[in-house]
Structure 1
Amino acid sequence: MKIALAQINYHIGNFEHNSQKIEHAIHWAIQQKAEIIVFAELALTGYSPLDLLEYKGFIKQSEEYLQAIAEKCVGITAIVGAPAVNHSNRGKRLYNSAWILSEGKVQQVVHKSLLPNYDVFDEYRHFEPASEVNISEINGHRLAITICEDIWDTEDVPLYSRSPLEQLMKQSPEIIINIAASPFNYLQTFRREKILRENALKYKLPIVYVNQTGAQTELIFDGNSMACDDGGNIRERLANFNEEVKVIETGENWYGNPASPVPAPPSDEAITSLIHDALICGITDYFKKSGFSQAILGLSGGLDSAVVMVLAAESLGPENIRAVMLPSSFSSEHSIADARQLALNLGSRYDIIPINETFKSFENTLAETFAGTIFGVTEENIQARIRGVILMAMSNKFGHILLNTSNKSEAAVGYGTLYGDMSGGLSVLGDVYKTQVYDLARFINRKVEIIPLNTIIKPPSAELRPNQKDSDSLPEYDLLDNILYQYIELRQGEQAIINQGFDPVMVKRVIKMVNANEWKRHQTAPVLRVSPKAFGMGRRMPLVGKY
């Protein structure tokens, strides 16, 4: 059976754009004599439309475009992800569905059974789970068509009380098709391969898995669509972070195969490369889909802003990046020199706007009010907010999006100034720990020195007071990031982390900082998600809780 896997970058709510891409892929697959072409979950609407699904006009448009796509399906069957109306008088108004189109019309609609409601997913908010499942017969072939989460119930303690695949197996399918919208994190490809292998071995069937690619604000989709035989051996894999349509041909040699080796987790080097590529994808699509092309950022001479500048230059082109250096009396000469050298290395425009006089003006304005107090965090924050005002003014004046350069370690413990260095329209490194930022810098410089070496090796500092270093206020990043990873990604409690050998005083201090700064994180820019647990839509914590 010749099956086309269509891995496409969709745009949420842009029916014309999405349908054109779908129709173009169908036309190409017909020329390749494919029998079936498979698209991703919610391909027509983009994933996820969120509360756009509550508008009847949105669903009506989706159905109209589906009918137009169906008319193009002559001589081929297309499996297209889109919402479907629940016509019963019970349950949610919609299903998350796979529409089977052929002979110019809709032949069947298959509904998703397992609706995830964890991390970044909130599908039960809008969708009703399927009440029954049936195989689909296409050109004499019996297909078990499933939608993303429907094949993820392989855990020792399943999240769900029913298994759609177990039910489908009673109807003797010959192949499993899974259409997905599976967001990227640096462990997700490994987990997908593991899931596909487990299902292929359990049911002794090949699996065709089609994911989407591209970014939708925080969520980045890496693609990595694949097909495996009944032993879980990957027979075909599509590109990372790129669109691709490819035809595979299944046959007798896809059955009766030995079990594939158990997939290995990615190496540290592979994780760094994946994070780099994911951030490029996230920046590129955020700008393109928002209708912007140029970015501005504060370039301090420190590591975070340097890495963000390089990633932005790779994504948008160095000519579309404007760096602004905002030195104060506490800024070191080498920081200004490093920042200037990076801009020159990339060929990007830069401005130097000293903030000394502006800061003095604030000091004069507040002199009477602050009389009898000493220089402290308030004065440090004023400097950061002066920089934020200048950067946002330039963003406003010239139509550039301001990129936020704070890393995950800083965001976790509140080491940043709200309305100052936490300003911006997109947080590029908000899901990247400081130790990972160092890895990214070394990855960027792997062939040639783009980021000045001094930027990488000097002790990190906010340079808001004389001789300041991050380590004055925070644990060393190697230690801090380890504790944060245990608490945030692994959801280990205080005592469980202490039991691993960490200093109890340090653990309690770090966890207290994380919990106390939830209010700050709720007011920051959307964060590009690259880890299994990012701040933002996938981590919901009370602002005024006490735990």
Structure 2
Amino acid sequence: MSDRFRLTMAQANPTMGDLEGNAAKAFAAWQEGKKAGADLVALPEMFIVGYNAQDLIKKPALQAAAMAEVEKLAESCADGPALAIGGPFAEGDKLYNAYFILNKGRIVSRQLKHHLPNYTVFDEVRLFDSGPLGGPYAVGNTRIGSPICEDAWFEDVAETLEESGAEFLLVPNGSPYYRDKFDRRMNHMVARVVETGLPLVYLNMVGGQDDQVFDGGSFVLNPGGELAVQLPVFDEMTVHVDFERTDDGWRALPGDKALLPSGEEQDYRVCVEALRDYMGKTGFKKVLLGLSGGIDSALVATIAVDALGAENVRCVMLPSEYTSQASLDDAKDIAERLGCRYDYVPIAEGRQAITNTLAPLFAGTEEGLTEENIQSRLRGLLLMALSNKFGEMLLTTGNKSEVAVGYATIYGDMAGGYNPIKDMYKTRVFETSRWRNCTKRDWMMGPAGEVIPVSIIDKPPSAELRPDQKDEDSLPPYDVLDAILTMLVDEERSVADCVAAGFERDTVKRVEHLLYISEYKRFQSAPGARLSKKAFWLDRRYPIVNRFRDKS
């Protein structure tokens, strides 16, 4: 009986629907495992298709093509270690989230996901059928159980596998990031280890998919919850883990234990990786954005440079007569600090032409919000023209506070293809900007040092659409606004709860009103990096037409 088992863990980054490309990545990992003398090479959940596939997974043509790729992989990997890979399995009128074990040229086992997540970004109950509680599979003379992602968050699947002879647990995951999620994962996995007395391998994918970023952070636990191996977060890598059979069963030998960065750093990296993969997986090479001289566009420009390199980022200042000299100076300053292209495109002439065109229709009315928004919409038109002409994707720059209360102009500054800070409240935008000025990491393509001028961070926020305008003319101070929004949005708390927390009822009701009436704007907004469990899109799906208001 062998007393050693080598597992190759591929913490890999699939591309949605790129079946051949994902299969090629799996084969490359298998080759690394073969060279290292592995017994089993493992990839994450649904890897052959990518995750989260949403309704794409219901397409029979995709299911058939994915199955064909898995079968081809089995043939290609016949001479070497077993390969474990996730994908869809259709049987009759049922569809399962499956984990395939390939060995000696064929599929030798299928594990079927039992617990289907149906919350936040997950809709698996409407996409898949629940598989039965099953037993382990054999690789050589070792029996392995594979609870698939959500299955390991409950006791029954792991306990059934242990009772039916599993000697260790290999958990493939497609688990997307939100802040502090790693601690929740670890707590659940430690519980499974304590309950079963078995070692556990938690294998997560990395990379961006639309709004979601899979953060890796794969790890190996020994019985008792002792950490044997910890992979870094966000990095694509293939690692070999050795297990040794003892009188008390298998134990993982100690390996590298990466230190996990702070939540602030992880949030920023999610913004960078989300944009980098959104660009790479959609085929875009370059981006542009309107650089106003304010904090939001400054941070988005910095994220873009860190993600893509300065040579792939165009910043455009589009001043009106209300744009301050300080904003003009700050915008040019940050573009020079980042090293990216800076274009200066005044909008006065275009705005005057639009004003003249509308004058007969607007005669006898007072100037107000409509005229202010023409400026924003003209900027959107010009930026989209540049995007079309040069093939550069337009980034939007609204933070979560603005997105929540509709403090943005639809078809104006909301125009664009992606928003890296969509789930970042304004107060965190300031914190993150200060952090980036003090921090440089290898995964950042931008320069070190104070990349965002302090004058941008310190100035009062303003849309500069009228003389001496300040955001706080229309909104509560951002520390108050963000605290209320955190309660109403992220925590689903009541108006009464907010009042009990010390906020003025009139202020809370006003914020609630703005939140509800802005739903139609969010419905049409660009996707953006998900940092929380209540990001605007799949996490929080509210009707556009809605007369409910909390009277508590």
Whether the TM-score (by the shorter chain) exceeds 0.5 is: yes
Work out whether 1:270 is the aligned partner of 2:271.
no
**Aligned residue number for residue 415 of structure 1:** 407
**Aligned residue number for residue 335 of structure 2:** 343
Deviation at 1:143, TM superposition (A): 1.6
Counterparts of 1:172 and 1:537, CA distance in 2? 39
Counterparts of 1:190 and 1:167, CA distance in 2? 25
What pairs up with 1:140-155 in 2 under 5 angstroms?
140-153=141-154
Deviation at 1:251, TM superposition (A): 2.6
Counterparts of 1:211 and 1:406, CA distance in 2? 30
Structure 2 CA distance for partners of 1:368 and 1:450, relative to 1, 3 Å = same
Structure 2 CA distance for partners of 1:256 and 1:35, relative to 1, 3 Å = closer
> Structure 2: any 5+ residue segments left out of the alignment?
251-258, 440-448
Q: 1:67 aligns with which of 71, 74, 77?
A: 71
What pairs up with 1:131-142 in 2 under 5 angstroms?
131-142=132-143
Deviation at 1:492, TM superposition (A): 1.3
**Aligned residue number for residue 120 of structure 2:** 119
What pairs up with 1:201-216 in 2 under 5 angstroms?
201-216=194-209
Work out whether 1:85 is the aligned partner of 2:77.
no
Structure 2 CA distance for partners of 1:254 and 1:355, relative to 1, 3 Å = farther
Work out whether 1:179 is the aligned partner of 2:151.
no
Counterparts of 2:118 and 2:132, CA distance in 1? 18
**Aligned residue number for residue 262 of structure 1:** none
Q: 1:21 aligns with which of 22, 25, 29?
A: 25
Counterparts of 1:470 and 1:367, CA distance in 2? 28
Report how many aligned residue pairs link the two structures: 527
* Equivalent AA in structure 2 for residue 200 of structure 1: V
Deviation at 1:173, TM superposition (A): 2.0
**Aligned residue number for residue 158 of structure 1:** none
SS at match of 1:132: coil
Work out whether 1:279 is the aligned partner of 2:271.
yes
Question: Is contact 2:96-2:131 (8 Å) kept?
Answer: yes
Structure 2 CA distance for partners of 1:254 and 1:520, relative to 1, 3 Å = farther
Question: Is contact 2:394-2:418 (8 Å) kept?
Answer: yes
Counterparts of 2:478 and 2:225, CA distance in 1? 40
Work out whether 1:54 is the aligned partner of 2:46.
no
Query: 1:430-484 CA deviation, whole Å, 9 max, x = no partner?
Result: 1110111111111111052111110000000000011001111111111111111
Question: Is contact 2:10-2:41 (8 Å) kept?
Answer: yes
Counterparts of 1:11 and 1:225, CA distance in 2? 19
> Structure 1: any 5+ residue segments left out of the alignment?
155-162, 258-265
* Equivalent AA in structure 2 for residue 460 of structure 1: P
SS at match of 2:25: helix
Counterparts of 1:363 and 1:211, CA distance in 2? 55
Work out whether 1:297 is the aligned partner of 2:289.
yes
Counterparts of 2:532 and 2:53, CA distance in 1? 22
Q: 1:426 aligns with which of 410, 415, 418?
A: 418
Query: 1:229-274 CA deviation, whole Å, 9 max, x = no partner?
Result: 11222211222212111011123579699xxxxxxxx99x822101
Deviation at 1:307, TM superposition (A): 0.4
* Equivalent AA in structure 2 for residue 86 of structure 1: E
Counterparts of 1:230 and 1:499, CA distance in 2? 45
* Equivalent AA in structure 2 for residue 196 of structure 1: M
Q: 1:385 aligns with which of 364, 377, 392?
A: 377
SS at match of 1:85: strand
Q: 1:323 aligns with which of 311, 315, 328?
A: 315
SS at match of 2:524: coil
What pairs up with 1:468-479 in 2 under 5 angstroms?
468-479=469-480
Question: Is contact 1:461-1:468 (8 Å) kept?
Answer: yes
Q: Which moved more, 1:20-29 or 1:498-507?
A: 498-507
SS at match of 2:466: coil
Counterparts of 2:179 and 2:111, CA distance in 1? 31
Work out whether 1:359 is the aligned partner of 2:351.
yes
SS at match of 2:360: coil
* Equivalent AA in structure 1 for residue 52 of structure 2: S
| Cα RMSD (Å) | 1.9
Question: Is contact 1:230-1:255 (8 Å) kept?
Answer: no
* Equivalent AA in structure 1 for residue 42 of structure 2: V
**Aligned residue number for residue 193 of structure 1:** 186
Question: Is contact 1:185-1:531 (8 Å) kept?
Answer: yes
Structure 2 CA distance for partners of 1:166 and 1:399, relative to 1, 3 Å = same
The structure 1 segments of at least 4 consecutive aligned residues displaced by more than 3 Å after TM superposition are 252-257
* Equivalent AA in structure 2 for residue 79 of structure 1: A
What pairs up with 1:429-508 in 2 under 5 angstroms?
429-446=421-438, 448-508=449-509
Counterparts of 2:122 and 2:458, CA distance in 1? 39
Counterparts of 1:436 and 1:254, CA distance in 2? 52
Counterparts of 2:102 and 2:115, CA distance in 1? 23
